[in-house]
Amino acid sequence: MIDESRVAGGALSSDGVAADVALAEVRQLRAADRPTHGGRLFAYVYDPAVPGLDDLAAAAHRESAHVNGLDPTAFPSLLAMENALVGAAGRVLGGGPGTTAPDVVGSVTSGGTESLILAVKAARDAHPEIAEPRIVVPSSAHAAFAKAAHYLRVALDVVPVSMDTLRPDPAAMAAAIRPETVLVACSAPSYAHGVVDPVAEIAGAAAEAGVRCHVDACFGGWTLPYLRRLGEPVPAFDFAVPGVTSMSVDLHKYAYVPKGVSVLLHRDAALRAPQYFAYADWPGYTMINPVIASTRSGGPIAAAYATLRHLGDAGYLRLAGVTRDAVAGLADAVRAVDGLRLMAEPESTVVCFTATDDGPDLFVLVDELTARGWHTQPQMSYAGLPASVHLTVTASVAPRVAEFGPDLADAVTAARATGPVALPPELRALATSLTPDALTPELVAGLAAGLGLGTGALDRMAAVNTLLDAAPARLRERLLVEFVGLLQRPAW
Ligand SMILES: Cc1ncc(COP(=O)(O)O)c(C=O)c1O
C-alpha cells in the first residue's frame, strides 16, 4: 500500500542522508563517466591541465552560486563580472576601444547553442516586416543553427561545402541570400573539421545585400587569435572584418572555464536591441531578459571571471602554444598510419581523420581506441563526405601525444583484423527502408535490445554507429530520440 504521507523516491531520501554520504554517492556515480581530465577524451571537455584551476573555479562558483542574474540591479557583482567577460571576449575578437569596432556590446549566455539562437532571434526580430524570415548557413555550420531555425520558425538555407576544402563557396553563399534573408552565418572554425570559413568574402556579400553576418567562433574564437600571435596563418575572421555584425565565443570551451558560459557579441547596441525580451503585461515584476533563461545562477559567471583573471592573456597564449604542438603531434601520428588520412590539414585545434579505401572500418577503430583508453568522437558520413573521427585537442593532451601514435597504429591493426561490423541483413534493410513515422515503440525497443543498448555497456558502439550511419538523417534523428528516450526514465 502506498503511504500517502511520504513521497521519498529517486533522489529524495526519506529522512535525508549525511552530507558525506550524499557526496560519496555523487562521486560513485561519477566513476562511470568518461575521464574529464588526463588528455584522453577528445570531445565534450576542455582541460588545460593547470594545477589549482579547478579549485579556483569551484571556489568562485560557490561564492556566487545563489546570486540571480534575473535582475542586474539587485546583484551588481554579477553585472560587473558579465561586463568584464564581454569586454574580454570583445577584445579577443577584435573589438573595443582603438579598434574598427569600438562599440561592440554583448551578453553572457549559457552556451554556444543559446548564443546562436539569440543571434538568429536578434536578426529575425530586427525585421518584423519579413513574414517568413530565412537564414543562410554552410552545411558545416553547427547544428545549433538548425535548432535556432526550428525554435524560431525561421527557414534554413543550407549551402554545401566543397568536398576538398570543407568550406562553402562565398559566391554560393551570396547567391543563397534572398529578400527574406535576415542572417548569413559562417564558422571560425567549424566544429566537425576545424576549418575556418572564408569570413571576409561571406561577410562582404552579406553587407552588400544589407544582411547581418554572424561568425560562429564558439569553438575556436578563444584560440585562433592566440594561434595567430604564435605565427600561424589564421585568416581574418573577427570584428576587424567589415560586415561581421555578430560573433559568438564559448568560454566553456577554450577559455577553459566550467560549463555554462558563452558570449554573444554584436558590433553595436542597435544590433543587439532586438535580442532582448521585455514583458510588463502581467501582475508580477517586469521581465527584461537579454538571454533565454530568466533566473540565472551567478556561479558559472563568477567561475569564468576568476578563471580569466587567473590565466590571463599570457596564460592563454601559452596554452594555445601547447595545444598547437599537441595538434601537430596527433596529425603526424595519423599521417604515419597506413589506412588513415586527415580530412583537412589542421588549422585550429581539431584533428579529423577518415579511412582510405583500403583502410580499417572507422567505427570499429573508434571502439579499439576506446579499449585502449582513448575516447574519440565518430562522425557519420554526410552528403558525400565520408565518416570520420573527430579529435578536439586541448592543452591537457600534450603530455599524451607520444602514447597516442603507437596506440593508434595498434588499434588500426586490430580494427583491420576484426573487419567491419556485419549488421544482420534485416537490420540493415530496416535502416535503409524504414520511414521515421513507421517507428513504433516496440520496433525501437527491439532494435535497442538487438544492438545491446540499455545494457549499460557502451564501449562497443560500432554496431550502433554502423546502423546509424546507414540510416538517412531523418531516420537517424528519430532513432536517436527514441534511444535516448529509453535512457531517460525516472529512477523512482
Ligand atoms: C562551432 C560551434 N558552435 C556552436 C556550438 C554549440 O555549443 P554548446 O554545446 O555550448 O551549446 C559548438 C559546440 O561544440 C560549436 O563547436
| Alpha-carbon gap, residue 57 to 71, rounded angstroms | 23
Q: Strand, helix or coil at 352?
A: strand
Provide the residue type at 200 as one letter: A
**pLDDT value at residue 369:** 98
Report the nearest-CA residue for atom 15 of ligand 1. 219
pLDDT of 457 over the 60 cut: no
Pocket of ligand 1 (CB under 6 A): 111-113, 116, 142, 144, 187, 191, 216, 218-219, 250, 262
Share of the chain above pLDDT 70, in %: 98
CA of 110, closest atom in ligand 1: 10
- 2: how many CB neighbours lie within 10 A of its CB? 6
| Alpha-carbon gap, residue 322 to 401, rounded angstroms | 11
Task: Look up residue 281 and give its three cell numbers.
Answer: 503585461
Task: List own/partner pairs for 26-32 with CB under 8 A and 24 or more apart.
Answer: none
CB-based contact 120:152 (threshold 8 Å): yes
For a ligand 1 pocket test, name from 113, 151, 261 the mutation site with the most ligand atoms within 8 angstroms of its C-beta: 113
Distance 471 CA to ligand 1 centre (A): 24
- For 244-261, how does the pLDDT look when each residue is reduced to its tens digit (9 = 90+)? 999 999 999 999 999 999
Range 19-47 average pLDDT: 97
- For 325-350, how does the pLDDT look when each residue is reduced to its tens digit (9 = 90+)? 999 999 999 999 999 999 999 999 99
**pLDDT value at residue 429:** 85
CB-based contact 447:438 (threshold 8 Å): no
Lowest mean pLDDT among 92-106, 212-226, 475-489: 475-489
For a ligand 1 pocket test, name from 250, 256, 291, 377 the mutation site with the most ligand atoms within 8 angstroms of its C-beta: 250
Give strand pairing partners of 9: 12
| Alpha-carbon gap, residue 362 to 454, rounded angstroms | 23
Task: Look up residue 363 and give its three cell numbers.
Answer: 567505427
Dmax (CA) of the chain? 73
Q: Which residues of 391-406 are buried (b: 16+ CB within 10 A; e: fewer)?
A: bbbbbbbbebbeebbe
**pLDDT value at residue 1:** 58
**pLDDT value at residue 456:** 56
- For 113-165, how does the pLDDT look when each residue is reduced to its tens digit (9 = 90+)? 999 999 999 999 999 999 999 999 999 999 999 999 999 999 999 999 999 99
Distance 4 CA to ligand 1 centre (A): 45
Report the nearest-CA residue for atom 7 of ligand 1. 112
Mapped to the 3 state alphabet, what secondary structure does 371-390 carry? HCCCECEEECCECCECCEEE
Distance 8 CA to ligand 1 centre (A): 37
Distance set, CA 166 to CA 140, 141, 199 (Å): 8, 11, 14
Range 170-189 average pLDDT: 98
- For 268-306, how does the pLDDT look when each residue is reduced to its tens digit (9 = 90+)? 999 999 999 999 999 999 999 999 999 999 999 999 999
Range 1-11 average pLDDT: 80
Asked whether the bond before 189 is cis by omega within 30 degrees of 0, the reply is: yes
For a ligand 1 pocket test, name from 44, 137, 219, 392 the mutation site with the most ligand atoms within 8 angstroms of its C-beta: 219
| Alpha-carbon gap, residue 466 to 431, rounded angstroms | 10
pLDDT of 240 over the 80 cut: yes
Q: How far is CA 99 from the centre of its chain?
A: 29
Distance 382 CA to ligand 1 centre (A): 19
Distance 214 CA to ligand 1 centre (A): 14
For a ligand 1 pocket test, name from 110, 191, 246 the mutation site with the most ligand atoms within 8 angstroms of its C-beta: 191
CA of 187, closest atom in ligand 1: 1
Report the nearest-CA residue for atom 8 of ligand 1. 112
Distance 418 CA to ligand 1 centre (A): 34
Distance 191 CA to ligand 1 centre (A): 7
Distance 252 CA to ligand 1 centre (A): 10
pTM for this predicted structure:
0.97
Distance 112 CA to ligand 1 centre (A): 5
